[in-house]
Structure 1
Amino acid sequence: MQTEARVGVVVDGGAAVGRCQEQRHIGTAAHLAAGGFAGAVSKTCTAPLARLTILFQVAGMHSDVATLRKCSIWHEASRIFREEGIEAFWKGNLVTIVHRLPYSAISFYSYERYKNLLQTVPGLDRDSNNVGVVRLLGGGLAGITAASLTYPLDVVRTRLATQKTTRYYKGIFHAVSTICRDEGVKGLYKGLGATLLGVGPSIAISFSVYESLRSYWQMERPHDSTAVVSLFSGSLSGIASSTATFPLDLVKRRMQLQGAAGTASVQKSTISGTVRDILQREGLRGFYRALT
């Protein structure tokens, strides 16, 4: 970052330009730090629901349909409190926090780089009317890059969050080393294909719903607070994209647990194999287990 600032001084021949660029880079670092801290706080506050979601998503791997029908949020929350203690609601949260900052930093950095690269393509340059396309493609590529580079932490989080009274994985580093020992390095990337398949549609749906809602709202009620419009538009676009790509997220979680804790795989560790198993055992409803 400092190098870029110095280059700016040399090329433009003015110290003021260099100072402006340096301030912009400092602002970026502060923005990333603030975003990472805010993400850590929000993830910690919602960690109990996140763990319940993961447990519901993978319940069908080891339970029959009759048992699954009896399962409820209250029932599972009561079991966690009774058998594991209240702190168990935050199992895997430390990994989520550790995952948050590099994911945000990689997304932010790669988005800017992809956007600049795309603008060199004829028809997508800065003077064209395809700014939305550049943002959409840049966001998708940045999401794929960040998800790929930080994916092992996502696998570790799932493994830790699904442990109940027996602890096979004792922490982040122990989980990484144990997975590599038991399953090889490829064990850290189980389910990555399902994740990457969901990144593009998720960003596309979120982007289009957000822009459509915000534009319509501002046209109908131009005097409403911009912050309120952005908040509600962002929330609804997030719900829409999460709902649309939830089946892929569930498939990913199932694949991440194949061969966990030294056990043999009970399902085929491919996307198509996992999809077939869910359809046969649970039907279409199985793909939306824990959506609420």
Structure 2
Amino acid sequence: MSVQKDQDKFFLSISQGEKKPFDFLRVLYDGCIAGGAAGVVVETALYPIDTIKTRLQVARDGGKIVLKGLYSGLAGNIVGVLPASAIFIGVYEPTKQQLLKSLPENLSAVAHFAAGAIGGIASSVVRVPTEVVKQRMQIGQFKSAPDAVRLIVANEGFKGLFAGYGSFLLRDLPFDAIELCIYEQLRIGYKLAAKRDPNDPENAMLGAVAGAVTGAVTTPLDVVKTRLMVQGSQNHYKGISDCVRTIVKEEGSHALFKGIGPRVLWIGIGGSIFFCVLEKTKKILAQKRHSKAETQN
């Protein structure tokens, strides 16, 4: 009975914020700051691995993987990653809290999954053009982000910046939803077992597990997204289903898992860094707010 009471108390604190009134603007602000910081740190630290993954996925059989210019396009990409990550977590956090209040306590996973998908949709307007420019630069099509944007629009129209948008959503919506859901559920389980909040190394460990598992499961979706985004005006693939059929026919079904090694490594380490920085930043913001409130009183 005591264990059940502890569980009830825990889920009550999660779903109702320990009876504190819900401050939408504060949660939105904290989410944007924490998300932006986490996104930039991860992107800067792991960009070379992402570049290798992209080049592996684009290479046809026998193609040579170039290891030069692994940071190509980083500066321009961060310009997009910062607002995209800020929007993603900025939308995710208040959406998650509202859903946790509205749904039964035993459906917390549904709240996390849905909030992750909604955050992904909101940030996709920034993330897709950023991803298109980044991947074109990673494979050497353009030398700078401004040139990439200018030439893509000139040659393919504005819609060229949203090349592969459908496949991006097909990959990133389930990815965002699954990763956030796994991470949040792992934290819930850990907090119940340890009877305390995870510390920074533990948040990093939980984030790594969530990222690695999600990265492996969604690799085929990532391969399709990459092929559609980098094909430009060549139109080698006519859409998502045609891309899958063509890859399997010409290269075999194993080609759908190209780059799975660096992808799992990248996203596993990325998840570790992202969620550790995210939780740490949220904690710092909360501490600063508490100190300011005490000073005013």
- Normalization by structure 1: what TM-score? 0.70
The answer to whether the aligner puts 1:102 opposite 2:102 as a matched pair is: no
Describe the SS at the equivalent of 2:59: helix
Q: 1:285 aligns with which of 254, 275, 281?
A: 254
Describe the SS at the equivalent of 2:102: coil
Number of the residue aligned with 2:231: 258
* Cα distance change, pair 127–234 in 1 and its aligned pair in 2 (3 A): same
Please say if residues 169 and 175 of structure 1, whose CA atoms lie closer than 8 Å, have aligned partners that are also in contact.
yes
Number of the residue aligned with 2:51: 51
Instruction: Measure the CA separation in 1 of the matches of 2:30 and 2:195.
Output: 32
Number of the residue aligned with 1:271: 240
Number of the residue aligned with 2:281: none
Number of the residue aligned with 2:110: 133
Number of the residue aligned with 2:41: 41
Percent of aligned positions with the same letter in both sequences? 30
The answer to whether the aligner puts 1:145 opposite 2:122 as a matched pair is: yes
Greater fraction of residues in helix: 2
Number of the residue aligned with 1:177: 150
Q: 2:161 aligns with which of 179, 184, 188?
A: 188
Please say if residues 132 and 161 of structure 2, whose CA atoms lie closer than 8 Å, have aligned partners that are also in contact.
yes
Number of the residue aligned with 1:158: 135
Which digits, 9 at most, give the CA deviation of each residue in 1:13-64, with x for residues without a partner? xxxxxxxx79x74x9657644643453233222222111111111112xxxx
Please say if residues 135 and 230 of structure 2, whose CA atoms lie closer than 8 Å, have aligned partners that are also in contact.
yes
Please say if residues 217 and 229 of structure 1, whose CA atoms lie closer than 8 Å, have aligned partners that are also in contact.
no
Describe the SS at the equivalent of 1:89: coil
Counterpart AA for 1:171: S
Which digits, 9 at most, give the CA deviation of each residue in 1:139-198, with x for residues without a partner? 2111122023431121011111110xxxx5342222112111111121111111111112
Instruction: Measure the CA separation in 1 of the matches of 2:194 and 2:91.
Output: 35
Structure 1: give runs of 5+ residues left out of the alignment.
1-20, 81-87
The answer to whether the aligner puts 1:247 opposite 2:220 as a matched pair is: yes
Number of the residue aligned with 2:70: 89
- Output the aligned Cα RMSD: 3.3
- Aligned residue pairs total 241
Matches within 5 A, 1:220-235: 226-235=199-208
- Normalization by structure 2: what TM-score? 0.69
Please say if residues 115 and 177 of structure 2, whose CA atoms lie closer than 8 Å, have aligned partners that are also in contact.
no
Compute the displacement of 1:127 (Å): 7.2
Instruction: Measure the CA separation in 2 of the matches of 1:140 and 1:224.
Output: 25
Instruction: Measure the CA separation in 2 of the matches of 1:142 and 1:257.
Output: 25
Counterpart AA for 2:247: I
Which digits, 9 at most, give the CA deviation of each residue in 1:190-228, with x for residues without a partner? 111111112332234324433454455556666895434
Counterpart AA for 2:43: K
Describe the SS at the equivalent of 1:269: coil
Please say if residues 115 and 135 of structure 1, whose CA atoms lie closer than 8 Å, have aligned partners that are also in contact.
yes
Q: Displaced runs of 4+ in structure 1, greater than 6 A? A: none
* Cα distance change, pair 150–42 in 1 and its aligned pair in 2 (3 A): closer
